[in-house]
Structure 1
Amino acid sequence: MGRLIQTLQPEGLGVSMRLENAPRLAEALQAAMPGWPLDRWPASAAPYRALAAWWEEGCYYQAVPAREGPRRLPGIATATCSLIADLIPEALKALPSMTGLHCAAVEVQGRLVLFPATHRAGKSLLSAAFAAAGYRVFADDVLMLTADGQGMALGLAPRLRLPLPPSLPSGLARFIVDHDDVSDRRYHYLALDDGRLAGHGVTRPIGAIVMLDRLPGTPAASLTRLSPGDGLLRLLGQSLAGEEHDPSRLLERLLPMMHNLPCGLLRYDDPMAAVERVVAGLDEAPVAAPHPQPAPAPRGSQSPAESPDTAWRRLPFSAEYALGEECFLVDVGGGVHRLSAVAGGIWRLLGIEPLTSAEVAALLAERFPDVERSRLGRDVASLFEDLAVAGLVAPADP
Structure 2
Amino acid sequence: MIPEFDMYAFSGLQAAVAFSGCEALFPILSGVLRDWSLEKGRAENTASQGQPVITLQKKADGYERRSRWLSKPVRFSDPVDAVCDFIVDLIHAYNAEQNKNLCLHGAAVELQTGLMVFPSTYRAGKSLLSVKLASCGARIFSDDVLPIPSGGNSGVALGILPRLRRPLPKTAGDPLRTFIANRLGPQNKRYRYIRLGPRRLAPRGTDAQVTAITILRRDTGEKPTLKTATTSDVVRDMILRNFARENPGIDILDRLHAVVEQAACYTLTYDTLDQAAALLSEGFGLAPLREDNDKII
TM-score if structure 1 supplies the norm length?
0.62
Unaligned runs of 5+ in 1: 284-398
| Cross-structure match for 1:33 | 33
The SS at the match of 2:205 is coil
Letter in 2 for 1:24: A
| Cross-structure match for 1:120 | 123
Paired with 1:95 and 1:199, the residues of 2 have a C-alpha distance of: 18
Paired with 2:163 and 2:149, the residues of 1 have a C-alpha distance of: 24
Letter in 1 for 2:218: R
Q: Do structure 1's residue 16 and structure 2's residue 16 form an aligned pair?
A: yes
Q: Do structure 1's residue 174 and structure 2's residue 164 form an aligned pair?
A: no
Structure 1 segment 1-398 matched on structure 2, within 5 A: 7-41=7-41, 47=49, 48-57=51-60, 59-63=62-66, 70-109=73-112, 111-147=114-150, 148-218=152-222, 220-239=223-242, 245-247=248-250, 249-259=251-261, 261-282=263-284
Greater shift in the superposed pair: 125-134 or 4-13: 4-13
Displacement of 1:217: 3.4
Paired with 1:101 and 1:151, the residues of 2 have a C-alpha distance of: 9
Q: Contact 2:137/2:200 (CA < 8 Å) preserved in 1?
A: yes
Paired with 1:105 and 1:244, the residues of 2 have a C-alpha distance of: 24
The SS at the match of 2:267 is strand
Unaligned runs of 5+ in 2: 286-297
Number of residue pairs matched? 277
The SS at the match of 2:16 is strand
Paired with 1:251 and 1:63, the residues of 2 have a C-alpha distance of: 30
Q: Contact 2:6/2:40 (CA < 8 Å) preserved in 1?
A: yes
TM-score if structure 2 supplies the norm length?
0.82
Paired with 1:87 and 1:242, the residues of 2 have a C-alpha distance of: 20
Paired with 2:247 and 2:169, the residues of 1 have a C-alpha distance of: 39
| Cross-structure match for 1:361 | none
Structure 1 residues 260, 155: closer, same or farther in 2, change over 3 A? closer
Q: Percent identity?
A: 30
| Cross-structure match for 2:292 | none
Letter in 1 for 2:149: T
Large movers: runs of 4+ above 6 Å: none
Larger CA Rg, structure 1 vs 2: 1
Q: Contact 1:13/1:90 (CA < 8 Å) preserved in 2?
A: yes
Displacement of 1:161: 1.6
Structure 1 residues 42, 224: closer, same or farther in 2, change over 3 A? closer
The RMSD of aligned alpha carbons is 2.9
Letter in 1 for 2:198: D
